[in-house]
Amino acid sequence: MRGTINGRPTKEFFVNMITRDITIQDAILDLLDNSIDGAKNKNEEDFQGLFVKLTLNKDHFIVEDNCGGFSLEIAKKYAFRFGRPTSHTNNKQSIGRFGVGMKRALFKMGKTFEVESKTADDHFQVRVDVDEWKNKNDSNGEGTLEDWSFSYNQVSPDSENISNPGTFIKVEGLYKEVSDQFEDSDFMDTLHNDIERVLIFSISKGLKIYLNGKIMKVHNIHIFNDKTKPIKIFKEKNEVSYRLFAGLGETGKPRESGWYIFCNDRLVLEANRNEITTWEVGSNPRYTNDFAMFRGVLFINSDETINLPLTTTKKGVDTTSESYRYILPFMKDALWTVTSFLKKVKKLDKPNEYRSELGESESNRLNILTMRHLEGLTSESKFIPPDLDYEKLLTKDDYVRIAFYVKRKLAEELKTKLDVKNFKSIGEEVLNYYLKMEEIDHE
């Protein structure tokens, strides 16, 4: 005799699990991601004229946008499902992956919520009393699939919430910890800063994001300056594109040092300085402030979000993903190259003076926005240190000169192949290559 055993989770357990590891800031950013996905569906590169307005206070949370909304069909098949069916196709370059972001955010915040969406073809509203929904035929976990559904209403054309195609979301009956945070100035300052940093590219494309009436600004991150030539590496594999930059940034800002990783233009890892981005891996050094000028930026883009190394909270990378493991060796080499130069700087008689001179060019620093649109974006380049009189600053007792002869024809060929300016640099490149292969610490 065969039978079945009910393995369906209770709603209470399910809701607690999906909301446990996400902060309120992350929940709000998830809702902003949905608006941005709508904006991308209208125009991937130009968000002029589009807005998202956030209203937070002790009584309610509201997010409203004019970014196009989502259709009733999408709502029925995907938007209110827990998880994303394999048949669902994302908008190109979207950031939503797991199909839990909007629901998780709403369940995290309060006891009742409404979601209203208007497109060119339809206009509907979903209202949910969370406690009522959780208790609907689910006291013993034996409810039907229908009991997990949400009801919707067609909205009359004269609705005041939405005048143009877009979405309107309102959460009321806020949980005490949420209501308290919305009244906390430190929380609001942190949220403001998070939005400006994480959504830097969407803001730069013209999307206006307001937090309690205050507009978000572009938060520039300087990556390297005009006195150096950064490493540029461009790769494509399995429908994923990679754009890697590594070089020297500003002096005096060690907190900004490290790797920045963006997935479909959303910041997911910021100023990382540990083994996740190959610090202290193999011959690469452990981070110290001697390497505070290092800046590395990696853009990982794919039309299919499932290809991206995203975690569910989008605050970090999935280091086990194939797409991330592919690019790691290139990151490791880039980090080794730049930090090898900074190790030399450390040995100077007056390293801080040299670093200051290196970072003087305030007006010509290249920031994270202009970097995406540099001329020659399709070509790769090697790291070329600044053209300063470096040798005069060396501590001579710590160094010896190595010289040897080779045929000029070979030297000329090597100079071209290695992309260096002079014959002296050939010897340095060959020695550095050997030290790297042997993983010899030459600090």
Position 161 pLDDT exceeds 80: no
Could you tell me which of 121, 148, 150 has the C-alpha nearest to residue 137? 148
* Chain centre to alpha carbon of residue 109: 24
Give me the pLDDT at residue 159, please. 65
| pLDDT bucket at 111, cuts 50 / 70 / 90 | very high
Which position has the higher pLDDT, 269 or 440? 269
Q: Mean pLDDT across the stretch 214-227?
A: 79
User: Do 230-394 and 11-215 have the same topology in CATH?
Assistant: no
102-111, 350-359, 370-379 — most confident range: 102-111
- 27-61 pLDDT, tens digit per residue, is 999 999 989 988 888 877 789 999 999 999 999 99
| pLDDT bucket at 363, cuts 50 / 70 / 90 | very low
The letter for the amino acid at 190 is: T
Which position has the higher pLDDT, 157 or 140? 157
Phi, psi of 372 (to 5 degrees): -65, -20
Give me the pLDDT at residue 395, please. 55
Give me the pLDDT at residue 98, please. 39
Q: How many CB atoms lie within 10 A of CB 77?
A: 13
The letter for the amino acid at 211 is: L
14-23 long-range contacts, CB within 8 A, separation 24+: 14/82, 15/107, 15/130, 15/134, 18/82, 18/100, 18/103, 18/104, 18/107, 19/104, 19/107, 19/108, 21/312, 21/313, 22/104, 22/105, 22/108, 22/312, 22/313
Phi, psi of 260 (to 5 degrees): -115, 125
| pLDDT bucket at 97, cuts 50 / 70 / 90 | very low
Give me the pLDDT at residue 16, please. 78
Q: Phi/psi class of residue 233: alpha, beta or left (left: φ > 0; alpha: ψ in -120 to 50)? A: beta
Which position has the higher pLDDT, 133 or 160? 133
Q: What is the pTM of this model?
A: 0.79
Q: Where are the domains of the chain?
A: 11-215, 230-394, 400-443
Is-contact 249 297, C-beta < 8 A? no
Query: How much of the chain, in percent, has pLDDT values that exceed 70?
Result: 82
294: tokens are 């290092």
Which position has the higher pLDDT, 294 or 162? 294
Assigned CATH topology for domain 230-394: Ribosomal Protein S5; domain 2 (3.30.230)
Classify domain 11-215 by CATH architecture. 2-Layer Sandwich (3.30)
